[in-house]
Amino acid sequence: MFTEKVIDNKNMNKLDVFFGYAAFTPLYKSNSINNDLYAFYEDFTIGNIKDVDIPINIDKDKTVRIWSSRNNTQEYLNFLYFCYKLPNKISVIFVNEYDEYAHSVGEVATEEIAKLLEYEHKLTKEEKDRYKNEWIKLVNKNSEIRLFKNGKIISTNYDYLNSYIDKYYDENNIRRTVATLMGNDTENNLSSDIYNFLIERKKKRVLRYTLYIFPKTHL
């Protein structure tokens, strides 16, 4: 866990929430942040979310400001989970509204935090309910993987990214393949762990298919 930021005029009733380690540095160093910082990060992109119930230890009377991005599937799903889970008043700063290429507040320089604050949006009850219901729909579908498509989260299966992986796949250099996939992924910003998982799964399926077509007895 991160060391609490020492602030002389700390606002005890507000909390800045961020997702991922990289986001800590610009927020911690910024003189524009006068609230406690709260770190949370779960990868809801793949796997079962039907029974997810991760506690969020935030007092219900605190106003929560969330730093997220619509260019980052994991961060956006974390944001939806907070809207679903918290009864608190919530505001949000989507960093991609300031910089369309920003995947996270962790990619923003400390001196830009003050500018980002201009993009803070306080959620109305209707807006919060809409985000909450978006999470509930994803839980009910409980698909293998959740990804952005045309600015919206879709529920789909692992094979959905096969053609994208094939485009850059180099069986002799998986690390380069993963790096290239991540570098060209401008919509989902998936982690190396996810791409490695999808590649290994794809390789195993190809191997099973090959053994089916060419049984061992004939090899």
What's the pLDDT score for residue 153? 94
Compute how many other C-beta atoms are within 10 angstroms of the C-beta atom of residue 191.
16
What's the pLDDT score for residue 56? 93
Contact 106/138 with Cβ under 8 angstroms? no
Low-confidence stretches of the chain (pLDDT < 50) are: 1-9, 207-212, 214, 216-219
What's the pLDDT score for residue 143? 97
Residue 185 has φ and ψ, to the nearest 5°, of -85, 90
What's the pLDDT score for residue 79? 97
pTM: 0.86
Longest dimension (CA), the chain: 76
Structure tokens that stand for 10 in this block: 């700390």
Compute the CA torsion angle 31, 32, 34, 36 (nearest 10 deg). -90
What's the pLDDT score for residue 4? 43
Task: Please give the Cα distance from 170 to 187 (Å, whole number).
Answer: 22
What's the pLDDT score for residue 187? 79
Domain residue limits, the chain:
11-141, 157-218
Asked: is 11-141 a CATH 3.20.20.150 domain? The reply is no
